[in-house]
Amino acid sequence: MIYLTGDTHGRFERIGAFCEKMQTSQDDILIILGDAGINFHAGALDTLRKEYLSKLPITLLCIHGNHERRPESLPYYGEREWHGGKVYAEGGYPNILFAKDGEVYNLDGRKAIAIGGAYSIDKAWRTAGQSWWADEQPSPAIKARVENTLDQLNWQIDIVLSHTAPLKYEPVEVFLPGVDQSKVDKSTEEWLDGIEGRLEYGKWYCGHYHTEKKIDRLQIMFNDFAVLEEDRLC
């Protein structure tokens, strides 16, 4: 079975409870839609979190968020093949995987593309290289990789797995009142808007906004869990 959930930010008690409730195994997959919080400190606390997760009866596929280090920037991660695409994995934790942006995974016969990253509205209160990272959003190279992949697929995909949402689907009702939205970099959301406008897709899942909402074929997730739906185009 393939499940999804939203941002966890290093707090995995609900993941453990979910695994116990659903009687999962490591053949089951849980997709965390960004900000898993596994590669935040790059030290002992991250190791403790990985040790906990490695013992859970589930395989995690983590989309890149904006409050964590990119695994490709850390020396102990390498690439490997998984479900038809490339993921980042660390030796010793074979059930904790990180999606590579622009890769397509075969998930029970459905094609799913990963598109991570977003802007941190709180970066002014964070420390560069310690709690905020300049590569939080997709680079031009990542954007090109995503678009080249979609070109090869004739702009048809079953599932999109992203961290943030296309601009038109932003849940403005949960925006923090103290944040001046005119100063928020929405370049990733604008780029995703263009992709969504061209793309034929079955379902789009994202996290980031710390809310739960369904709009058309898009679902924003946070503390909720869902089963990957049987939406197919390909």
With a cut of 70, say whether residue 131 has pLDDT above it.
Answer: no
**3-state class (DSSP) for residue 61:** strand
User: Which letter does DSSP use for residue 131 in this model?
Assistant: T
Query: For residue 169, what pLDDT is reported?
Result: 97
With a cut of 50, say whether residue 27 has pLDDT above it.
Answer: yes
pTM of the model: 0.94
A 10 A CB-CB count for 166 gives 23
Rg, Å, the chain Cα set: 17
C-alpha 124: how far from chain center: 23
Number of helices (H), then strands (E), belonging to the chain: the values are 4, 13
Mean pLDDT of the region 44-62:
96
Q: Which two tokens stand for residue 62?
A: 């983590």
Q: How far apart are CA 164 and CA 115, in angstroms?
A: 9
H or E segment and range at residue 51: helix 44-54
Q: What is the mean pLDDT of the chain?
A: 93
Q: What are the structural domains of the chain? A: 2-227 (3.60.21)
User: Which letter does DSSP use for residue 138 in this model?
Assistant: P
With a cut of 80, say whether residue 124 has pLDDT above it.
Answer: no
Query: For residue 30, what pLDDT is reported?
Result: 98
